[in-house]
Amino acid sequence: MKECKIRNDWTLDEVQEIYTLPLMELVFRATEVHRSNHPIGQIQVCQLLSIKTGACSEDCSYCSQSSRYETEVKVEKLMPPEEVYSLAKTAKEAGATRFCMGAAWREVKDNADFEKVLAMVRSVRSLGLEVCTTLGMVDGKQAERLKEAGLTSYNHNIDTSKDYYKEVISTRTYEDRLRTLKNIQEAGITICSGGIIGMGESELDRMKMLQALANLEVHPGSVPINALVPIKGTPMEGKPRVSVFEMVRMIATARILMPKSKVRLSAGRVLMNETEQGLCFIAGANSIFSGDKLLTTQNTALDQDARIFQIWGLSPMTADPVAVEGRAQEVFA
Ligand code: SAM
Ligand code: DTB
Ligand code: SF4
């Protein structure tokens, strides 16, 4: 396999050159990079679960869970660890190899709820699953405790470009996000970081976001590319739907800039048919969220996923043995 050199010094001009290629050429190049760095046709299947829903203090203008907006989300306090364990077991039986737990928190606090989350991490990990959480901001000590509990990955999206960030969220900064990513990486946990398109940002913002991710000292282990799910009651409710070609362009560019990372076709999948999702896999996506629900919105149903896998000859990737052994950092060293 011809391995690609991993770079983290991409200039904006270089990113633009790639991003603006004719789509056919862009996809062709992305497929080449994909083939050289990943087994073709193997898709990471991550089951997502909202362990604490709604009533979040942040004002992220895309989010159904912010307390600032009147949305249809039902607030639910932190789930009991036993219930989470049982759902993780079911997810494993259904073929997931990574279990991701999301909490509508601004940040982790050193309280009983954090202890419960640590217990969840331990128990999910004991099933031989990769474990990911997304809990908002964490400090260095909290990151270390998550690592000790067996966390293999932490999701914290940069969401958009530094310039556009302030149009989307006012209650925390881009730098806050980057600090958490650093704390997580320093604790030896692989980061999962990506963003959303369709929030009114320009194409240049999209390129800048990809450039920021690709220029992190260590690339994210996975890069979720989300299409905005417009939520009734939020400032973004009326945004037009992202086209599949915009998703393909983002995925292909991410694949070329970050050859070894998993690129996840994330929110928005439910609105894409088998052909459209297939195009995203051809463009270099090799990871999905599975299950009927993402955090609060609908996802592609399991039987539809089975059909997509069958049509395109895809198979679920096995859990990363290194990550599951607790040596996640070495995967991307
Ligand atoms: N509270 C934590 C945080 O903000 O990091 C974790 C949960 S948060 C819901 C995780 C990510 O989901 C966000 O950073 C955003 O990228 C994505 N997301 C949330 N709502 C979305 C929506 N309506 N459409 C697309 N992506 C969304
Ligand atoms: C990510 O990038 N996408 C997921 C996960 N990380 C936590 C969340 C998508 C949320 C979509 C809207 C919802 O279901 O509330
Ligand atoms: Fe809260 Fe996360 Fe939603 Fe922002 S994205 S409002 S931090 S749950």
Q: Are strands 130-134 and 98-103 parallel, antiparallel or unpaired?
A: parallel
Of 199, 333, 239, 283, the closest CA to residue 28 belongs to 283
Q: How far is the CA of 264 from the centre of ligand 1 (A)?
A: 14
- Domain assignment present for residue 324? The answer is no
Element (H, E) at 9: none
Q: Nearest ligand, CA of residue 132?
A: 2
Is the CB of 157 inside a 6 Å radius of any atom of ligand 2? yes
- Domain assignment present for residue 5? The answer is no
Give me the pLDDT at residue 30, please: 96
Q: Nearest ligand, CA of residue 160?
A: 1
For the ranges 155-159, 164-168, 296-300, which has the lowest average pLDDT? 296-300
Q: How far is the CA of 60 from the centre of ligand 3 (A)?
A: 6
pTM score: 0.92
Is the CB of 295 inside a 6 Å radius of any atom of ligand 2? yes
Domain count for the chain, please give it: 1
> What's the rounded mean pLDDT across residues 60-83?
92
Model confidence at 330, pLDDT cuts 50, 70, 90, reads very low
Give me the pLDDT at residue 55, please: 81
Q: How far is CA 2 from CA 34, 59, 141, 287, in A?
A: 10, 45, 40, 22
Q: Is 274 exposed, middle or buried (0-12, 13-18, 19+ CB in 10 A)?
A: middle
Higher pLDDT, 304 or 178: 178
Structure confidence by residue, pLDDT tens digits, 215-269? 999 999 999 999 999 999 999 999 999 999 999 999 999 999 999 999 999 999 9
Is the CB of 234 inside a 6 Å radius of any atom of ligand 2? no
Q: How far is the CA of 119 from the centre of ligand 1 (A)?
A: 23
Structure tokens given for 89: 């077991």
Give me the pLDDT at residue 231, please: 92
Kindly tell me if the per-residue pLDDT of 308 is higher than 80: yes
Distance between first and last Cα of the chain: 19
> What's the rounded mean pLDDT across residues 124-145?
93
- Domain assignment present for residue 323? The answer is no
Closest atom of ligand 3 to 57 CA is: 1
Q: Give the structural domain span for 197.
A: 12-313
Is the CB of 134 inside a 6 Å radius of any atom of ligand 2? yes
Helices (H), 67-132: 81-93, 112-125
- Domain assignment present for residue 318? The answer is no
Give me the pLDDT at residue 327, please: 35
Model confidence at 92, pLDDT cuts 50, 70, 90, reads confident
Model confidence at 324, pLDDT cuts 50, 70, 90, reads low
- Domain assignment present for residue 240? The answer is yes
Give me the pLDDT at residue 138, please: 97
Give me the pLDDT at residue 322, please: 57
Nearby residues of 44 by Cβ (< 8 Å), 6 or more positions away = 97, 98, 222, 262, 264, 286, 287, 288, 316, 317
- Domain assignment present for residue 152? The answer is yes
Residue 133 three-state SS: strand
Q: How far is CA 331 from CA 50, 220, 324, in A?
A: 27, 11, 11
Give me the pLDDT at residue 3, please: 59
- Percent of the chain at pLDDT exceeding 90: 77
- Domain assignment present for residue 7? The answer is no
Q: How far apart are CA 68 and CA 99, in angstroms?
A: 29
- Domain assignment present for residue 333? The answer is no
Structure tokens given for 94: 């259904």
Q: Answer yes or no: are the C-beta atoms of 283 and 275 closer than 8 Å.
A: no
Residue 150: count of CB within 10 angstroms of its CB: 19
Residue 52 three-state SS: strand
CATH of the domain at 273: 3.20.20.70
Selected catalytic residue, list 29, 145, 177, 192: 192
Ligand 1 pocket: which of 226, 231, 272, 298 to mutate (most atoms within 8 A of CB):
226
Q: How far apart are CA 121 and CA 39, in angstroms?
A: 28
For the ranges 16-30, 94-108, 214-228, 312-326, which has the lowest average pLDDT? 312-326
Kindly tell me if the per-residue pLDDT of 88 is higher than 50: yes
* Region label for 174, one of left (φ > 0), alpha (ψ between -120 and 50) or beta (otherwise): alpha
Kindly tell me if the per-residue pLDDT of 332 is higher than 50: no
Give the distance, in angstroms, between the CA of residue 24 and the centroid of all CA atoms in the same chain: 26
Nearest-CA residue for atom 8 of ligand 3: 104
> Which residues are paired to 100 by β-bridges?
48, 132
